[in-house]
Amino acid sequence: MNPNPTNEPIYICGPTASGKSSLAIKMAREHDGEIVNADAFQLYRGLEIVSAAPSAAERALVPHHLYGVLDPTASADAQLYVKLASPVISEIQSRGKTPVITGGSGLYLKFLTHGAAPLPTGDAALRAEMDSQSLEDLVARLQQLDPLEASRTALQNRRFVSRALEICILSGQKASDLRDGWEKQTAEISSKLRGFVIQRTREDLHARIALRTKAMLEGGALQEVAAMSAISSNCEKAIGFREVRSLVNGEIDRATCEELINAATRQYAKRQETWFRREKWLVPKVV
RNA sequence: GGCCCGAUAGCUCAGUCGGUAGAGCAGUGGAUUGAAAAUUCACGUGUCGGCGGUUCAAAUCCGUCUCGGGCCA
């Protein structure tokens, strides 16, 4: 008998290095499920070690989907992720299995669970143009085009200002109008979701991060990055990528590399905890 | 053994002419609907190595001790 007759997805969230992969495998086995990636960087091919994607041994235990499916030169975003994940999830359900969706990319998960606001997709050329302008000019332009959006945007955050402006320019409408209304039904959606967020003490998490970084460096991260360093892509933003490249290039020593990765990973984990803390539908799972 | 330099936040250090101290990093909390492993905001009490002394007032000047580092024996 299927313990989950509805085949509704189970979400496994939590900060990096908290043990999402193994919990997902456990849940998948208990619920006759298959695992779907929700990690922005594990999507990429050739970044398995640096992004700490599930190992071959782990993948052999349960079917895994959406790992290493993007070319390193491809650019991804939350909407593309939903486009990739939705059919995979439906397909799993159609076979009577339960999708176990796991990953630490809060925004991607949010799009998947709560849908996308009706906004235009980012435009690389426009972004490049905006990147060459001063923040003051971008802010002034946003204040002119959409004062309401400007008033509720963190104007020191160039990314947020650019995005708001981008929406106005590409759509010909006010970002504030397009964004309004989107959040109205989130509470209702949330009430129907089921998922867990792994919780660990900071001390424990930091220790796990340190162990993982060490394993990563000993487990082929240098070769992986060396193989990819000719490619300019989103992968360069992965924590560990630049640090390992600096190590490979002899700019820093191994101990420094390790500590830089650890610090960046700790900071990332903290941001993830902040994000998931707001997702009240996630049930804390103390490990 | 003698001389010199150093000791200030978890770390690296700044601190003017004596007026009880502040940067970066780390850390903590927050924001975050199409770059998100991204981007961004806020948060700084610490025996100023110890003990004496001078002074209205000492991280700052003097003495001494301790611990580093160096030079000379």
Determine the nucleotide nearest to A115 by Cα–C1' distance: B33
CA angle, A259 then A261 then A227, to 5°: 125
Could you tell me if A195 and A282 are in contact, meaning their C-beta atoms sit under 8 angstroms apart? yes
The C1' atom of B64 and the CA atom of A4 lie apart, in whole Å, by 78
Beta bridge partners of A102: A12, A37
pLDDT of residue A53: 97
Q: Which residues contact A105 (CB under 8 A, 6 or more apart)?
A: A38, A39, A40, A81
Q: Rounded CA gap, A240 and A185, in Å?
A: 38
Nucleotide nearest to A39 (CA to C1'): B37
Nearest CA to A172 out of A193, A151, A146 is that of A146
Q: Measured in angstroms, what separates residue A31's CA from nucleotide B17's C1'?
A: 76
pLDDT digits (tens, 9 = 90+) for A147-200: 999 999 999 999 999 999 999 999 999 999 998 877 777 878 998 999 999 999
Looking across all nucleic acid strands, the nucleotide with the smallest C1' to CA distance from residue A76 is B35
pLDDT class for A1, splitting at 50, 70, 90?
very low
Nucleotides of B under 7 A from a protein CB: 25-41
Of A16, A9, A220, which is closest to residue A104 (Cα–Cα)? A16
* Contact present, A42 and A133 (Cβ < 8 Å): no
Q: C1' nearest to CA of A240: which nucleotide?
A: B37
Dihedral of alpha carbons A155, A161, A164, A165, sign: positive
pLDDT by residue (tens digit) across A36-77? Answer: 999 999 999 999 999 999 999 999 999 999 999 999 989 899
CA-to-C1' distance for A258 and B68, Å?
27
Using the CA of A83, give the nucleotide whose C1' is nearest.
Answer: B34
Q: Output the distance from A269 CA to B67 C1' rounded to whole Å.
A: 39
Distance from residue A273 (CA) to nucleotide B11 (C1'), in Å?
26
> What contacts 24+ positions apart, CB below 8 Å, involve A244-252?
A244/A50, A244/A217, A247/A222, A248/A222
Residue A117's nearest nucleotide, by CA–C1', is: B33
Residue A3 clears pLDDT 70, i.e. is over it: no
Q: Residue A232: is its pLDDT beyond 70? A: no
Band of residue A116 on the pLDDT scale cut at 50, 70, 90: very high
User: Distance in angstroms, CA of A81 to C1' of B64?
Assistant: 70
CA of residue A271 to C1' of nucleotide B13, angstroms: 29
CA of A155 to C1' of B16 (A): 38
User: By percentage, how much of chain A surpasses pLDDT 90?
Assistant: 86
Q: Which residues are within 8 A (CB) of A80 and not within 5 positions of it... i.e. 6 or more apart? A: none
Contact A228, A235 (CB under 8 A): yes
ipTM: 0.93
